[in-house]
Amino acid sequence: MDESTYSDPEVQEFLNEHFVAIRVDNDHRPDINSRYNVGGWPTTAFLTAHGGLVGGATYLPPEQLLAMISEFAEAYSNDRTTLYTQARDLHNNRKTHSQRSVASGTLEESMVDRVSRIVVGAYDALNGGFGTEPKFPNAPILRFLNHLQRTSGEVFYASMLTKTLDSMASGQVLDDIEGGFFRHCAQANWDEPQHEKMLEDNLALAREFLDSGIMLERSDYQETAKQTFKYLIEQMYDSNTPGFRGSQGAHSDYYAMDASARKEYTRPMPDLFCYANSNGLAVTVLLDAAWKLGEPSLQEIALTILEKLDSMEISGSFSHVFSNNGPSDSPPLFTDYAWLLTALLQAHGNTPNETYLGRATAVAQQMVERFFDQKGGGFFDIEEQSKL
């Protein structure tokens, strides 16, 4: 839509005359995406002056978007009360659904069995993985399977895990030239990858290949994990910041080339920014891997990033987004604090430095003070009244 709809002169003129147009990057403000996404990207959402959602759409060609924004502009001028009523009703419906979702309950062991049945039902016995196309790696499910195998010893859990990891390692979802996993594949058999590489996905998959390799005594899985860490450090780690970039851009023509042809071209550029939550995950995963693989260089990188994250929090400049220019004005999310806390606890367990535990305690207190819902329980995803 950037090159077509949003670049259309008539659309631009009408938007600038009748609306306050605000562009939001999902990576920078995932909290806004979760509130206003209407079913995909790009989303064009229409809000009241108080942030109430009154409507929106995903991809629209110029003439259709122009018709829609004209209708909203006319309604706002001639029947504003109805628009505000719609926004209030939609908000109340979402609030009711949210309250229903967080209704109090009891955590029971039987829940593990129920979830495991869902996982088994979604298993693709022919191709490995879960569900049909598009096929996503789903590292959290692999971690759950790893847990089930370790705790139950059931052979079929190991079989599901092995089939999935083997299929991924031999399929097109893995870049067997430079390392790293692509985001997903269009086909259930792990063919036709979408060539973007995400930091969080690769960290989680490297961890699962490493842990499964140790548990199942598969050195090839451990080697895949090592190659994935190598890729992340060589292509996504920015030592000047320091931190890992959030992703590496999709470039299908480049990734279709063999190794010799790729040398003649520039690699796809990584994201310009680092994100606090995924870098907290990176610290946690790398510290664990450093111990299991006996690789002190992984620990050195992890602790360097942890120092960066923690120093931002101590100085009051902790931000969801940062780069070699420093922190941004994107407010920290609950997940940023949660992964910083996890990273500090991992560092406490993996190093003799006793200060990490004290810092973890301080961060946990900040999480309660900033994000805890005193009335309804649970934690908000972002502090109240954070700037857009």
Please write the tens of the pLDDT for every residue from 205-261: 999 999 999 999 999 999 999 999 999 999 999 999 999 999 999 899 999 999 999
Architecture of domain 9-101: 3-Layer(aba) Sandwich (3.40)
Q: What are the residue ranges spanned by the domains of the chain? A: 9-101, 110-272, 274-388
The pLDDT, as a whole number, for residue 98 is: 62
Does residue 50 register a pLDDT over 90? no
- Strand order of the β-sheet with 326-327 is 274-275, 321-323, 326-327
At 212, which helix (H) or strand (E)?
helix 199-216
8 A C-beta contact, residue 279 and residue 313? no
pLDDT band at 334 (very low <50, low <70, confident <90, very high): very high
Residue 384's pLDDT band, with cuts at 50, 70 and 90, is confident
CATH pick for 110-272 out of 1.20.140.10, 2.60.40.10, 1.50.10.10, 3.20.20.70: 1.50.10.10
Give residues with Cβ within 8 angstroms of 9, minimum separation 6: none
The closest of 238, 388, 247, 231 to 323, measured between CA atoms, is 238
pLDDT band at 137 (very low <50, low <70, confident <90, very high): very high
- Considering only residues 385 and 277, tell me which one the structure prediction assigns the higher pLDDT: 277
CA distance readout (Å), 233 to 81, 130, 213: 55, 29, 21
Whole-model pTM? 0.92
pLDDT tier at 381, thresholds 50, 70, 90: very high
DSSP letter (8 states) at residue 190: S
Sign of CA dihedral 376, 380, 384, 388: negative
Q: Can the peptide bond before residue 268 be classed as cis, meaning omega within 30 degrees of 0?
A: no
Q: What is the pLDDT at residue 1?
A: 84
More confident residue, 4 or 165: 165
3-state secondary structure of 322: strand
The C-alpha angle 282, 287, 292, rounded to 5 degrees, equals 125
Give the pLDDT of residue 97: 66
Q: What is the mean pLDDT of the chain?
A: 94
* Secondary-structure percent of the chain, ordered helix, strand, coil, rounded to 5: 55, 10, 35
Residue 340 is predicted with a pLDDT of 99
DSSP string, 142-156: HHHHHHHHHHH--HH
Percentage of the chain with pLDDT > 70? 96
Fold agreement between 9-101 and 110-272? no
Distance CA 279, CA 338 (A): 11
Structure tokens at 280: 């907290």
Residues in the chain: 388
Query: Mean pLDDT over residues 381-385, rounded?
Result: 87
pLDDT tier for residue 93 given thresholds of 50, 70 and 90? confident
